[in-house]
Amino acid sequence: MPPTAPAEQGQLPATTYDELKRRAWAGRAEAYAETFGLLCALPIERLLDAALVAHGTNLLDAGTGTGAVAAAALGRGAHVTAVDPDPDMRRLARRSAPGAQVLDGALPELDLPDGAFDAVVANFVLNHVGDPLAGAQELARVARPGARVAVTVWPRPATELHRLWDDVVEHAGVAPVPAPPLAPASEFGRSPDGLGRLLTAAGLTNVQAATVRFVLRVDAEVWWSGPARGVASIGGIVEAQPPDVVARMKAHYDRLSRRYLAADGLLHLPTAVVLAHGQVR
């Protein structure tokens, strides 16, 4: 695996970026599972289809989180190994996917042998890694020749679902908190072309990538409770505010989200993911 490119002034080395991400998610497993985990579950079946996961497939689920992908793969009859660096996430993964082998581990260095898996998936993981290319190369390393590797990331520009939080921050007059910056050499386009080129650079062949659209149907109070409990970047912004500002943000959220309220009493939030897959040489 090639060494990580040095960070320029104002940017973070990949290892520092990874550590900051892990700290931001520490202690959030339950809150994530009950809120934003609903969103991250939307592309699971498409992800497993892209990796050709079926009965008897020996699958690695890298960055399993609460184990939703692992549980779905077990439902297909796959043999599942799942890794995650967060102990609370691993605890939930063992609960939701009791037939999986759940291990401590994080990209870009997994304590797993070369060519061990028939398929490898990573659902919204490469967008949380300080060196995405090294992460993609590691996914390819642990897959056998001919195996499929399939990954998802959130697109840029942001979808309506994600822009709702930007609108709440703007209308509430809150200063956004910038995300930790990747070094330019580590960044990739959050589009089918950008993610496809990343997998190709990682050595995969027959790479295909597409934007897949979904609608998240969720209770408005449940959706607000994610940021209110510190989940994701918007959660960090909410937690940094005094109570009166949080109340102002909630009032704007109630008003701005109303346009997505459907007859079933749920918010119908349009969103999309970038899904890409390739084959190991």
The C-alpha atoms of residue 223 and residue 168 are separated, in whole angstroms, by 13
Closest CA to 256 of 158, 170, 159, 164: 164
CATH superfamily of 14-157+182-213+273-279: Vaccinia Virus protein VP39 (3.40.50.150)
The C-alpha atoms of residue 214 and residue 224 are separated, in whole angstroms, by 19
Residue 34, token pair as written in the block? 């009950």
The C-alpha atoms of residue 149 and residue 208 are separated, in whole angstroms, by 11
Closest CA to 190 of 201, 198, 182, 200: 198
Predicted TM-score (pTM) of the model is 0.91
CA-angle at 149, arms to 145 and 153, nearest 5°: 160
Closest CA to 273 of 167, 68, 54, 126: 126
Domain boundaries, the chain: 14-157+182-213+273-279
pLDDT in tens, the chain (281 residues): 333 333 334 455 666 767 767 777 788 999 999 999 999 999 999 999 999 999 999 999 999 999 999 999 999 999 999 999 999 999 999 999 999 999 999 999 999 999 999 999 999 999 999 999 999 999 999 999 999 999 999 999 999 999 999 999 999 999 887 766 777 888 999 999 999 999 999 999 999 999 999 999 999 999 999 999 999 999 999 999 999 999 999 999 999 999 999 999 999 999 999 999 999 99
